[in-house]
Structure 1
């Protein structure tokens, strides 16, 4: 996963026009959850390749810090974030009445995404405009990925995809996290359900 040169960081957040119905901030910088599947955060980042940008959307569980859903595409239309949520739901990683928190980008405040959340019985939550701290966990994951993956510009989108897939598996199943007691996200999820079944 060797990079070539670093390019200027590109912003993927485009504040939306006034949404049809205002969405509250249900997280309020409390990036914890009592159990898996209850509180999620997500965001979009862009990965540079010589073929053009590759966009990555993620869904992170705040209890386990596991990347439970993701999607990659050559665009950052709303379909991208819908696909990430749909994958997390299809895997059984999101409970009914869970909260999904994001920034106020147009993808996340769109009617299409709200409908996707409603279909999965998920409540929307958004931070304030221009405040990266309101979505700090999602932002921190992208910073970690870009530091640890070792690539700054890929030759092809296919190479970038493969490197990201490899990293996500490593992040969920091998990398230890101080936030969750120096366990992996997958271990944290498994331990929670073992403890719950033994109670």
Structure 2
């Protein structure tokens, strides 16, 4: 859609907006809405660049350990009114990521000194009558 509007904007002096909109099958008022939104989008892109610079500064100031939530909290302490979703988007677009410093722990560890348990029924789970062979599993 944006490419169509950009094309119309470049060629409207030669062919007219109405004709180009009809040819490209786009809404005529949509082109003027896109045209009016261009300065707003440019201002937002500029604000995003400033926020990206601040985010990178906070991230580098904490040795690359801060993620989106901590960076958002730090920016709010500095007086910036910012949402964590916007910080997340900016970080994702620029490849900035926080570090996880916690070591992963395994709660269960096999006992290497324990002897393996023998298979008493020889993998034969059929029973001659109910209640004759009882099998259990701890997983």
> If the TM-score is normalised by the length of the shorter chain, which range does it land in?
under 0.3
Instruction: Tell me: higher relative CO, structure 1 or 2? Use CA pairs within 8 A at least 6 residues apart.
Output: 1
> TM-score normalized by structure 1?
0.21
> TM-score normalized by structure 2?
0.28
Q: Give the structure with the higher percent strand.
A: 1
Larger radius of gyration: 2
Q: Give the structure with the higher percent helix.
A: 2
